[in-house]
Structure 1
Amino acid sequence: MADSYVKVSLLPSGFLTLPEHFFCADQDDKSVRNTVPSMSFLLHHPRTGSNIVFDLGLRRNLDDYPRNIHPHLRTRQPIHTAPDAGESLKKGGLKPSNIDIVILSHVHYDHVGNPRDFTRATFIVGYGTRNLLEHGMKYHSAAHFEKDLLPPERTIELPIQAKLPNYQPKVAPQAASSPSTITLDGLVPGVSHCWKPLPPFDNAIDLFGDASIFIVDSPGHLVGHLNVFARVSEDRWVYLAGDACHHSRILDGMTDIATWEENGMVVCIHADKELAVDTVAKIRRLRKEGFRGASVEVVLSHDAKWYKEYQKSIFPAKL
Structure 2
Amino acid sequence: MTARNVGVLVYAISGGNFYLPHRDVFQDAHINDIETGDIVPTFSFLIEHPTRGKYLFDLGLRKHGEGYTPAWNETLAEMKPTCDKDVSETLEENNINPKNVQGIIFSHLHFDHVGDVQPFSSAEIILGGEAESLFEKTYPEDPESLVYDWPKGRSVRYINFESQDSNIKTTLPLNSTFFQRSYDLFSDGSLLLIDAPGHFPGHLAVLARIETPGTSDSDDNYLLLAGDCCHNRQCYMVHPSQSSPVALMSLLVRVEQEIPNVVIILAHEKELEEEGMPISSKFFKQLGSGTR
TM-score w.r.t. structure 2 length? 0.81
2:132 is matched by which residue type in structure 1?
A: R
Any idea what the Cα deviations from partners look like across 1:165-196, whole Å, max 9, x if unmatched? Answer: 33xxxxxxxxxxxxxxxxxxxxxxxxx32242
User: What's the counterpart of residue 99 of structure 2?
Assistant: 97
* Correspondence list, 1:1-319, <5 A: 4-28=6-30, 29=32, 30-46=34-50, 48-77=51-80, 79-135=81-137, 144-149=145-150, 153-159=154-160, 161-162=161-162, 164-166=163-165, 192-198=166-172, 199-232=177-210, 233=212, 234=214, 235-251=220-236, 256-257=237-238, 269=239, 272=242, 274-290=243-259, 295-310=261-276, 312-313=277-278
**CA-atom RMSD in angstroms:** 2.5
The DSSP-based 3-state class of the residue aligned with 1:27 is: helix
Shift of 1:306: 2.5
Q: Which sections of structure 1, spanning at least 5 residues, go unmatched?
A: 137-142, 167-191, 258-268
Separation in structure 1 between the aligned mates of residue 267 and residue 192 of structure 2, nearest angstrom: 17
Cα deviations by residue, 1:62-95 (Å, 9 ceiling, x for unpaired): 3311233223211112x22022111221122212
Aligned mates of 1:212, 1:239 — CA distance in 2: 12
CA contact (8 A) 2:137 2:145 kept: no
The one-letter amino acid of 1:24's match is F
CA distance 1:271–1:125, shift in 2 (3 Å)? farther
Relative to 1, partners in 2 of residues 1:151 and 1:275: Cα closer, same or farther, differing over 3 Å? Answer: farther
Shift of 1:7: 0.4
- Segment drifting more, 211-220 vs 24-33: 24-33
Contact 2:124 2:155 in 1 (8 A): yes
* Contact 1:13–1:82 (CA under 8 A) maintained in structure 2: no
**Which deviates further from its counterpart, 299-308 or 50-59?**
299-308
Is the Cα–Cα contact under 8 Å of residues 125 and 154 in structure 2 kept in the other structure?
no
The answer as to whether partners of 1:38 and 1:111 remain within 8 angstroms in 2 is yes
- CA change 1:151–1:279 in 2 (3 A) is farther
Q: What's the offset of the Cα at 1:157?
A: 0.8
Contact 2:64/2:84, CA 8 A, preserved across alignment:
no
Q: Is the contact between residue 71 and residue 146 of structure 2 (CA under 8 Å) also seen in structure 1? A: no
What displacement does 1:44 show? Answer: 0.5
Change (3 A) 1:61 1:27: same
1:241-263 deviation digits (Å, cap 9, x = unpaired): 00001111222xxxx44xxxxxx
- Equivalent position amino acid for 2:147 in 1: E
Please tell me whether the aligned partners of residues 214 and 229 of structure 1 are also in contact (alpha carbons under 8 angstroms): yes
Larger displacement relative to structure 2 (89-98 or 10-19) = 89-98
Aligned residues: 261
% identity of equivalent residues: 29
Is contact 1:134–1:146 with CA below 8 Å preserved after alignment?
no
Is contact 1:220–1:270 with CA below 8 Å preserved after alignment?
A: no
Q: Secondary structure at the match of 1:202?
A: coil
